[in-house]
Amino acid sequence: MIRAEAEGLDVAAVLAHYEEHGFARLGPVLDDAGVESLRERADDLMLGRVVYPGLFFQPDAPSGRYEDAPLGLGWQGPSLDYRKLEKLEKDPRFLAWLENPLFERIARARISGDIVLYRAILFHKGPAGGSNLPFHQDGGKLWGLTREPDLQIWTALDDAPEGGGCLEVVPGSHRAGLVTALGGVIPPDRVAAADAEAHVVSLPVRAGEALLIHNHVWHRSGRGRPGQRRRAFSACYMSADTTCVRKKKAPRVFPPVFRQPVRGG
Say what the pLDDT of residue 263 is: 62
Alpha-carbon torsion angle 149, 68, 188, 169, nearest 10: 50
- Residue 259 DSSP one-character state: P
pLDDT in tens for each of the 265 residues of the chain? Answer: 999 999 889 999 999 999 999 999 999 999 999 999 999 999 999 999 999 999 999 998 887 778 878 777 788 999 999 999 999 999 999 999 999 999 999 999 999 999 999 999 999 999 989 999 999 999 999 999 999 999 999 999 999 999 999 999 999 999 999 999 999 999 999 999 999 999 999 999 999 999 999 999 999 999 999 899 999 999 999 999 999 998 888 889 999 999 887 665 4
pLDDT at position 66 is 83
Q: Are strands 167-169 and 256-258 parallel, antiparallel or unpaired?
A: unpaired
Question: So where are the chain's domains?
Answer: 4-61+73-258
Domain 4-61+73-258: which topology? Jelly Rolls (2.60.120)
The 10 Å Cβ neighbour count of residue 17 is: 14
CB 97 within 8 A of CB 75: no
Alpha-carbon span 173 to 251, nearest angstrom: 30
Nearest C-alpha neighbor of 103 from the set 181, 174, 9, 171: 9
Residue 139 CB neighbour total at 10 angstroms? 22
Q: Return d(Cα 50, Cα 178) in angstroms, integer.
A: 38
DSSP string, 110-173: H--SSEEEEEEEEEEE-TT----EEEEES-STTT-BSS---EEEEEESS-B-TTTT-EEE-TTG
The whole-model pTM stands at: 0.94
Q: Is 30 exposed, middle or buried (0-12, 13-18, 19+ CB in 10 A)?
A: buried
Would you state the pLDDT for residue 249? 83
Q: CA torsion sign, 236 to 238 to 244 to 246?
A: negative
